[in-house]
Amino acid sequence: MAPSRLARPVAVRVARHFVYAIIQFLLMTLADLAGIVPSATAQSLGNSDPTYQALRNLTLGQESVSVNNVDLKRDAATFHLRSGTVCFVAPAAGKVTGAVFTGEGTLVLSAPPTERSMLKLLTKEDEFSETFSQMALRFTDSTYDDLKKAGTAASGNCDAGPLKESQRTTRHDLKNNLEARILQDVLNSEPGGLFMAFIRGRRYNDKELLAIDPNIGGEQVQFITYSESKSGIWASFPLSDARSRDQAGTRVSIDHQQLDTKIESNAELTGRATTTFVSRFNGTRVVPFDLFPTLRVQSVTADGASLPFIQEDKNEDADFAVILPKALAAGQLYTLTTTYGGKDAVKNEGNGNYYPVSRMNWFPNNSGVEFGEFSSYDMTFHIPKGMKMVATGELVSESNDGGHNITVWKSEAPQTVAGFNFGKFKLQEAKLANPQYLVQSFANQDPPSWVQSLKQAASGDDLPTDGLHTGAAVALGTMNTTLLNKKALAEGELAIQLYTEYFGPPLFKHLQITQQSACNFGQAWPGLVWIPICYYFDTTVRHQLGLDLADRGYWTVVTPHEVAHQWWGHTVGFSSYRDQWMSEGFSDMSASLYLTVADKNPQRYVDFWNDERSLLIDRNAQGFRAIDAGPVTMGYRLSNSRTGSTSRGGSSIPKVHTYCTCYA
């Protein structure tokens, strides 16, 4: 997706959420994979670039100017510096990339019409006008020359506090490596355009950030607040100048990924990724990637040579970036190989259950791109013997080597994302004739540890007894998930057949429905669906756990909803959060069609859309209705610290069924 990583949402297709009052649980030796063990030389190249180190340890320099009634205009933002002093940072590689302002100033943000209603909702004013006395600036555009020209030379010591605070903010709070981003422009042969203002506001919030970054797609201008009590995106929109928009976007586009991944029984992951990408613009020298922060890079090589890279502490701004030996021209292909490894990207949930925490960045993925880029994949997985791997793409081969099961996968068509699930699965499958389609359903043979703990906590003296019913065996049953594996398979079969009749065939010729140990959401990748474990509990168990108190029919439609994403999301994609409502909305509409066929009681269909309507008009704890929070094109931004949680994804198109019925 397009939003900057400074305020980027977790880009998952999450089904309708609801609160569970009873159950809560936490989600969240290098392998001998050939060629993964790094050399000391390769390790020493991490964070070693001298220009990067100069930016990382940046301090204020000796140069400063006095400013009086100076206007600094950046896209839709106008900074009026009424009086004060601007102190510049020391140069890095001959370029000044920051400054601190102390004095009296105002910021007026003239956002486009699509953003004004949200700003008015948040500020309760027609005009966004902030006042401030301190501001830290980071930039690679003409800000240094503009302020130096507008001011008069000054002398004296400057307060370095705002600069240090901005560094703490990006590294510890936002966990965004701003220095790595600035390095992209400093080492680029073309002029940069980055501008960031960390504002200590007086009216709205004392922690505000205006960011303008042409190196991201979609929306390059953002205004956010990042205080603990009031955080979120207040405004986000593209650059106003058409010519600038044409030159905006991610610097590279990934063409192919060859991934060799090994996951041990303790869930430690090691991998080798050979990534082929094309430079979209002239001058690309630093290439950012999205890699799960606990997966630590050991080496990066290209054409037999080791390349310097950037990756800071896993608990801070761990953004991964590679520094190329020379700048690339627009359209130039380049291939590099990254070796990496670590824990926490996958969790061992016990009893043969594994939970892939990282869904999009378990390998070096393109930074700043979520579902708008299509790439081909060749993947090899090494997992403990006795486990079963399922993944996006077509299974090419399966073998055993010592203590590991090895599978090879190849994408059937270019994909927006790649993923996997594995465990001690029991398989049920069906082959459809019309359309020709293979549907497989995988459930774990044994429950994860948290289920065992739940049963133990509910047993013995922990539960009151009446002489007849004692312990979890009666209260919770066996909680065996394989018993409902056939149900998941049957729902997948019917959904595939029904949706094919309505929408035509999807891109992919097989579907793997898999159980995951998370209880509260489902998710869909190309040819791969994760279904929450609580779906596999029978209705009695779900009732005992309180999971049916306000589920709004969730358990009935979670599987057909996620299957529908094979059409809405992975055949018909979306390039940003602005369009994600269509993916979720059409998937919910598809699930309602499923109800008309699977359930002969027409009231279930009516109840479904009544629930969707309630999601729109019921007030939340903050007193807001989803229908009033803003347009559906604002997506996840409708849920913020002021409006609270709102849902507009699936409930936005209740009348689409009319069109589908008439024209299918």
pLDDT in tens, 491-539: 999 999 999 999 999 889 999 999 999 998 999 999 999 999 999 998 8
Q: Residue 638 falls within a domain, yes or no? A: yes
Answer yes or no: do 518 and 567 share one domain.
yes
Decide if pLDDT at 33 tops 60.
no
* CB-CB neighbours of 24 under 10 Å: 9
Decide if pLDDT at 664 tops 70.
no
List, in sequence order, every beta strand (DSSP E) within 373-423: 376-384, 388-391, 394-401, 404-410, 420-423
The mean predicted confidence, pLDDT, of the chain is 87
Which range is least confidently modeled, 14-18, 97-101, 182-186? 14-18
What distances in angstroms separate CA 10 from CA 210, 309, 373, 520, one per listed residue? 21, 25, 17, 15
Decide if pLDDT at 202 tops 70.
yes
Q: Pairing relation of β-strands 420-423 and 388-391? A: antiparallel
Q: In 3D, which of 508, 398, 481, 362 has the Cα closest to residue 390?
A: 398
Averaged pLDDT for residues 419-434: 96
pLDDT digits (tens, 9 = 90+) for 574-587: 888 888 899 999 99
CA 326 to chain centre: 30
Taking the C-alpha atoms of residue 636 and residue 649, their distance in angstroms, rounded to an integer, is: 9
For the chain, what percent of residues have pLDDT higher than 70? 86
What distances in angstroms separate CA 123 from CA 128, 212, 642, one per listed residue? 7, 21, 10
Decide if pLDDT at 60 tops 50.
yes
Contact 253, 269 (CB under 8 A): no
* CATH label of the domain that carries residue 416: 2.60.40.1730
- List the structure tokens of 624: 């807001």
pLDDT category at 645 given cuts 50, 70, 90 is low
Q: Residue 366 falls within a domain, yes or no? A: yes
Contact 301, 38 (CB under 8 A): no
pLDDT digits (tens, 9 = 90+) for 285-341: 999 999 999 999 999 999 999 999 999 999 999 999 999 999 999 999 999 999 999
Answer yes or no: do 394 and 477 share one domain.
no
Q: What pLDDT shows up at residue 642?
A: 57
For the chain, what percent of residues have pLDDT higher than 90? 68
Contact 270, 30 (CB under 8 A): yes
Angle between helices 554-564 and 580-598 (to 10 degrees): 120
Contact 494, 434 (CB under 8 A): no
Q: What pLDDT shows up at residue 635?
A: 84
Q: Residue 505 falls within a domain, yes or no? A: yes
Answer yes or no: do 456 and 549 share one domain.
yes
Domain termination site, one of 426, 448, 470: 426
Q: In three state form, how does the secondary structure of 510-579 look?
A: EEEEEEECCCCCCEEECCEEEEEHHHHCCHHHHHHCCCCCCCCCHHHHHHHHHHHCCCECCCECCCCHHH
Averaged pLDDT for residues 14-30: 28
Conformation bin of residue 460: beta by default, left when phi > 0, alpha when psi is -120 to 50: left
pLDDT category at 44 given cuts 50, 70, 90 is low
Decide if pLDDT at 484 tops 70.
yes
* CB-CB neighbours of 80 under 10 Å: 16
Q: In 3D, which of 166, 194, 164 has the Cα closest to residue 182?
A: 194
Conformation bin of residue 623: beta by default, left when phi > 0, alpha when psi is -120 to 50: left
Q: Residue 396 falls within a domain, yes or no? A: yes
Domain that holds residue 303: 251-426
DSSP structural state of residue 289: E
Domain termination site, one of 212, 246, 280: 246
Q: Residue 383 falls within a domain, yes or no? A: yes
DSSP structural state of residue 625: B
Answer yes or no: do 217 and 80 share one domain.
yes
- Which strands form 296-302's sheet, in the order they lie side by side? 305-306, 296-302, 333-342, 269-279, 252-263, 376-384, 404-410, 394-401
Answer yes or no: do 401 and 283 share one domain.
yes
Q: What pLDDT shows up at residue 371?
A: 67
Answer yes or no: do 457 and 413 share one domain.
no
Place of tokens 């102390």: 102
517 vs 646, higher pLDDT: 517
Decide if pLDDT at 40 tops 60.
no
Answer yes or no: do 317 and 464 share one domain.
no
- List the structure tokens of 377: 């994949």
Q: Pairing relation of β-strands 510-516 and 436-444? A: parallel
Q: What pLDDT shows up at residue 655?
A: 35
Which range is least confidently modeled, 272-276, 389-393, 441-445, 459-463? 459-463
Conformation bin of residue 596: beta by default, left when phi > 0, alpha when psi is -120 to 50: alpha
Structural domains of the chain, count: 3
Taking the C-alpha atoms of residue 332 and residue 574, their distance in angstroms, rounded to an integer, is: 26
Q: Which helix (H) or strand (E) holds 178?
A: helix 178-186
- List the structure tokens of 152: 């008069």
The b/e string for 290-306 (b: 16+ C-beta within 10 A; e otherwise) is: bbbbbbbbbbbbbeeeb
Answer yes or no: do 345 and 460 share one domain.
no
Answer yes or no: do 585 and 615 share one domain.
yes
Q: In 3D, which of 432, 585, 412 has the Cα closest to residue 498?
A: 432
Q: In 3D, which of 263, 340, 264 has the Cα closest to residue 295?
A: 340
Q: Residue 35 falls within a domain, yes or no? A: no
Q: What are phi and psi of 554, to 5 degrees?
A: -55, -45
Domain termination site, one of 246, 280, 313: 246
Q: What pLDDT shows up at residue 625?
A: 85
Q: What pLDDT shows up at residue 22?
A: 26
pLDDT category at 114 given cuts 50, 70, 90 is confident
Answer yes or no: do 470 and 569 share one domain.
yes
Contact 356, 387 (CB under 8 A): no
Decide if pLDDT at 57 tops 80.
yes
Q: What pLDDT shows up at residue 562?
A: 98
Q: In three state form, how does the secondary structure of 472-498 look?
A: HHHHCCCCCCHHHHHHHHHHHHHHHHH
Taking the C-alpha atoms of residue 523 and residue 569, their distance in angstroms, rounded to an integer, is: 11
Q: Residue 474 falls within a domain, yes or no? A: yes
CA 52 to chain centre: 26
Residue 525, strand partner residues:
528
Answer yes or no: do 236 and 327 share one domain.
no
Q: What is the pTM of this model?
A: 0.87
* CB-CB neighbours of 483 under 10 Å: 14
Q: What pLDDT shows up at residue 640?
A: 63
Q: What is the dihedral of CA 50, 51, 53, 55, to 10 degrees?
A: 170
Helices (H) and strands (E) in the chain, counts: 16, 30
Averaged pLDDT for residues 277-281: 97
- List the structure tokens of 276: 């082929």
* CATH label of the domain that carries residue 600: 1.10.390
CA 428 to chain centre: 31
Q: What pLDDT shows up at residue 30?
A: 30
Q: Residue 365 falls within a domain, yes or no? A: yes
Answer yes or no: do 393 and 482 share one domain.
no
